[in-house]
């Protein structure tokens, strides 16, 4: 196994929570889950949201945000090696954020767009991903894109609730927009990453996640002799 692991911020959400065995197999053994089909409509909605808010004042996201503008969209970020004492395995973060806003006070905010119902659980769940982007921006690898300081992390959640026909005959979806701020805690995030690296340092993969359909499929195939 490589002694320097590239961690994807998005894997710190769904993959980590769904099945730590699959997480281990991907990063230690290079065995990734098959790619699942992703409806193209969600990609279209995501692009529309980013294009709509590009360059707009932060008050268009939420009136409680400090003055500023949406400035940077979809850029790759990469951190230097993570400071995780007590671990032989080293890791770094690499991924692509949705949007960064530039506040008038010289600080920045990392924003992720979501099309779903806003839920309190989203704060902790997606907070790992946003903390990863913020960490990489503030502690970049040499020559990589950087912004500092990051003063805000948050989700802009759009939940479609109704549909109407415009005078021109087009269909328009209407929905509520919710700003969900994520409290920053870099120390707690690094503590979480210590747990991640601790898992990857184990000599064998952990048990499958209770509801992991991929592991259930593999187990059934083995039991069937196929």
What residues does 47 pair with on adjacent strands? none
Say which residue the tokens 């990469």 belong to. Answer: 78
Q: pLDDT (tens digit, 9 = 90+) per residue, 50-92?
A: 999 999 999 999 999 999 999 998 999 999 999 999 999 999 9
What CATH number is given for 4-223 in this structure? 3.90.320
Distance CA 216, CA 211 (A): 8
Residue-by-residue DSSP string for 152-208: EEEEEEEEEEEEEE-TTS-EEEEEEEEEEE----HHHHHHHHHHHHHHHTSSS--PP
Q: What is the pLDDT of residue 116?
A: 87
Look up residue 217 and give its two tokens: 């499929």
Domain boundaries defined on the chain: 4-223
Q: pLDDT (tens digit, 9 = 90+) per residue, 174-217?
A: 888 899 999 999 999 999 999 999 999 999 999 999 999 999 99
CA dihedral 36, 37, 39, 44 (to 10 degrees): 80
């Amino acid at each position: 196994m490589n002694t320097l692991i590239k961690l994807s911020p998005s894997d710190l959400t769904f993959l980590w929570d769904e099945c730590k065995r699959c997480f281990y197999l991907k990063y230690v053994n290079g065995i990734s889950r098959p790619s699942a089909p992703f409806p193209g409509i969600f990609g279209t909605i995501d692009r529309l949201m980013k294009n709509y808010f590009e360059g707009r004042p932060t008050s268009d996201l939420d009136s409680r945000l400090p003055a500023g503008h949406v400035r940077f969209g979809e850029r790759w970020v990469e951190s230097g090696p993570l400071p995780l004492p007590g671990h032989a395995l080293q890791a770094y973060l690499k991924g692509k954020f949705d949007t960064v806003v530039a506040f008038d006070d010289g600080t920045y905010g990392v924003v992720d767009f979501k099309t779903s119902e806003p839920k309190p659980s989203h704060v902790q769940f997606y907070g790992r991903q946003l903390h990863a982007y913020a960490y990489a921006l503030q502690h970049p690898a040499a020559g990589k894109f950087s912004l500092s300081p990051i003063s805000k992390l948050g989700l802009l959640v759009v939940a479609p609730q109704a549909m109407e026909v415009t005078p021109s005959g087009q269909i328009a979806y209407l929905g509520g927009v919710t700003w969900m701020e994520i409290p920053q805690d870099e120390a707690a995030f690094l503590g979480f990453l210590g747990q991640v690296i601790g898992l990857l340092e184990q000599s064998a993969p952990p048990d499958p996640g209770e509801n992991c359909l991929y592991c259930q499929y593999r187990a059934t195939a083995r039991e069937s002799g196929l």
